[in-house]
């Protein structure tokens, strides 16, 4: 059955209405959503495209994972500011031939993550796509006035820290690119159970909302960004905005083990592989940073310098570190 817009909207509305409505004065069904920003807070707004063939592939990603990752990107941006999500808006352009059950599974993945982080689907739009699937997400969050953690606050001498492990998401992409062509006929959408289980960092990344909030509340971080483009690129953003340089230590960078401690991913993937959605932050020299916050390991991987360039300390000295984040699925 081809998708019909009215039914699609009704379906989305049904799914959205059953979820918590904190912060929503008026949700889907009026010309605009009316949101309640807690008093003494400022609104955070972020927007992210998810395009078939660029950010996901239907022969690689189960619909639940696509929905999850789509929202995770926006939630991760809210986390990177030290904020908390309130609502999100979803605009979907779908090919006419796409089965309704794909949309249901996509929404299930998205709403499960939304519920976990108490974010309400408060509106959106739908259209028929002449080509692939396109999902555009807007996430609205809040942060106490003047307390958002910006990219511009890093100072020479600050330590550089990363949450979790890096490279796991890129390792999954590498694995799928290397694997046999598993493209299935349009009839049965692939479950890809094996890979989703082995590579949770890629299929179901966990936005670090709680960690970001604690870093903000305890005033631990001077600057912060989420690692959506890859460590080398995201650190360059902090350095650029702060007008500083950095020195990383190769041996300190926590590399994802993708389910097997004896086979950590290559350093290159940890440095440049994107879509890990960890938090990269700086903290003043001498500030005690716990080894674990909100259940997530925190590792110091280097320090901020006044040199206006980024270097990587390896066995035989320093080498310049170029920003070259992971290029999605371009082959």
Given the rule CB under 5 A, which residues bind Mg ion? 77, 226, 228
Beta-carbon contacts of 251 under 8 Å, excluding residues fewer than 6 positions away, are none
Q: How far is the CB of 229 from Mg ion (least distance, A)?
A: 8
Q: In degrees, to the nearest 5, what angle opens at C-alpha 90 toward C-alphas 86 and 92?
A: 170
Minimal distance, residue 224 CB to Mg ion, in Å: 10
Structure tokens, 224: 């912060």
Q: Cite the DSSP H helix spans in the chain.
A: 5-17, 63-80, 100-116, 168-178, 193-198, 200-203, 209-217, 231-242, 267-272
Closer of 228 and 242 to Mg ion (Cβ):
228
When the beta carbons of 126 and 222 are compared against Mg ion, the nearer one is 222
Q: Which is nearer to Mg ion, 80 or 304 (by Cβ)?
A: 80
Nearer to Mg ion among residue 77 and residue 275 (C-beta): 77
DSSP one-letter string for 230-258: -HHHHHHHHHHHHT-EEEEEGGGSPBP-T
Q: Smallest distance from the beta carbon of 226 to Mg ion, in angstroms?
A: 4
- The DSSP code sequence of 190-203 is ---HHHHHH-HHHH
Please classify residue 8 by burial: count the beta carbons closer than 10 Å to its beta carbon, then call 0-12 exposed, 13-18 middle and 19+ buried. Answer: middle
Closer residue to Mg ion in complex, CB, 228/282 = 228
Smallest gap from Cβ 169 to Mg ion, in A, equals 14
Compare residues 158 and 226 and give the one whose CB is closer to Mg ion: 226
Q: By C-alpha distance, which of 45, 59, 326 is closest to 192?
A: 59
Neighbouring-strand partners of residue 46: 139
Please state the closest distance from residue 117 (CB atom) to Mg ion, in A.
Answer: 16
CB of 237 to Mg ion, least distance (A): 9
Of the two residues 49 and 101, which places its CB atom closer to Mg ion in the complex?
Answer: 49
DSSP state of 30: B
Distance in angstroms (rounded) separating the CA atoms of residues 257 and 147: 35
- Cα–Cα distance measured from residue 197 to residue 260, given in angstroms and rounded to the nearest whole number: 12
User: C-beta of 118: minimal distance to Mg ion in Å?
Assistant: 20
């Amino acid at each position: 059955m081809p998708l019909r817009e009215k039914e699609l909207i009704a379906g989305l509305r049904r799914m959205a209405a059953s979820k918590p409505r904190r912060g929503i004065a008026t949700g889907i069904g009026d010309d605009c959503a009316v949101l309640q920003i807690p008093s003494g807070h400022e609104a955070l707004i972020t927007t992210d495209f998810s395009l078939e063939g660029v950010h996901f592939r239907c022969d690689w990603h189960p619909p639940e994972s696509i929905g999850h990752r789509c929202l995770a990107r926006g939630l991760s941006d809210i986390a990177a500011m030290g904020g908390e999500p309130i609502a999100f808006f979803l605009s979907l352009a779908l090919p006419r031939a796409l089965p309704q059950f794909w949309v249901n599974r996509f929404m299930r993945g998205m709403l499960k993550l939304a519920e976990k982080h108490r974010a309400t689907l408060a509106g959106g739009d739908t259209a028929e796509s002449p080509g692939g699937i396109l999902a555009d997400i807007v996430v609205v969050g809040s942060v106490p006035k003047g307390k958002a953690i910006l990219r511009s606050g890093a100072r020479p001498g600050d330590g550089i820290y990363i949450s979790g492990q890096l490279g796991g998401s890129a390792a999954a992409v590498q694995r799928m690119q290397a694997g046999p062509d598993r493209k299935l006929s349009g009839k049965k959408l692939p479950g890809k159970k094996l890979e989703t289980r082995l590579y949770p960092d890629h299929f179901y990344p966990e936005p670090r909302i709680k960690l970001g909030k604690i870093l903000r509340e305890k005033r631990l971080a001077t600057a912060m960004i989420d690692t959506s483009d890859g460590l080398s690129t995201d650190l360059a953003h902090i350095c650029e905005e702060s007008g500083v340089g950095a020195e990383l230590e190769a041996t300190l960078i926590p590399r994802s083990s993708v389910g097997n401690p004896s086979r950590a991913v290559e350093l290159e993937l940890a440095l440049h592989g994107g879509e890990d959605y960890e938090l990269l932050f700086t903290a003043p020299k001498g500030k005690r940073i716990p080894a674990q916050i909100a259940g997530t390991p925190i590792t110091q991987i280097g320090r901020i310098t006044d040199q206006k360039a980024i270097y990587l300390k390896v066995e035989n000295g320093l080498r310049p570190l170029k920003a070259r984040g992971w290029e999605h699925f371009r082959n």
